[in-house]
Amino acid sequence: MSDAFPVVYLARHGETAWTISGQHTGATDLPLTARGEAEATQLAEPLAGLMFAAVFTSPLQRAVQTCELAGFGPVAEVEPDLVEWNYGTYEGRTSAEIRAERPDWQVFRDGCPGGESPEQVGSRADRVIRRVRAIGRGVLLFSSGHFLRVFAARWLGLEPGAGRYFLLGTASLSALGYEHDRSEPVIRLWNERPHERRADQGQVRGHEEKAWR
């Protein structure tokens, strides 16, 4: 893998009340929870020292807050195409509630009535990809889970629905780039969660301290 090509970092926003409840959160402009703020703050460490030609964020406050807490608020530009999937009539509903009416429903295949289809989200992702690739240097994006999963699929040249394979947790960091040349897009890092790693390290230290007592 070559380091000579630009890398696009993807940061998903931190926890909100609806990520806890599992409700679909598209245009509903929820703030981060206190835990979500802590998660977002911990994104600053792995991003420290990296150079970005541009930083873009979704206009939704959960992404903007995450961007600010990670230390990039002053240099970020709002990009409307980074907004989360429009869930239409499924906004605010859980998958279990939706499947009680439509047992075979899958957002990455079926989209949402009154909202966006996978192809429409894919078209937005394509516009962002074209903008990013035209910059030709490192870029950092702050957005939401389903959009970023479609973005990754389109970066690789896959159909938008292939985003179903790329699970993302809150306040996660991922990176897309290239291998031998720009005709070979790849995933370089996926779903790295600094706040989880720190918690795991704390548990290990706690066990070690108990073992030495």
Active site (catalytic) residues: 13, 84
Cα torsion 154, 85, 56, 66 to 10°: value is -120
E-strand spans in the chain?
A: 8-12, 54-57, 76-78, 139-143, 173-178, 185-192
**CA-based R_g, the chain, Å:** 18
Cα torsion 152, 154, 159, 161 to 10°: value is 40
Q: What is the largest CA-CA distance in the chain?
A: 61
SS3 assignment for 152-209? HHHHCCCCHHHHHHCCCCCCCEEEEEECCCCCCEEEEEEEECHHHHHHHHHHHHHHHH
- Nearest-angstrom CA–CA distance, 13 and 173: 10
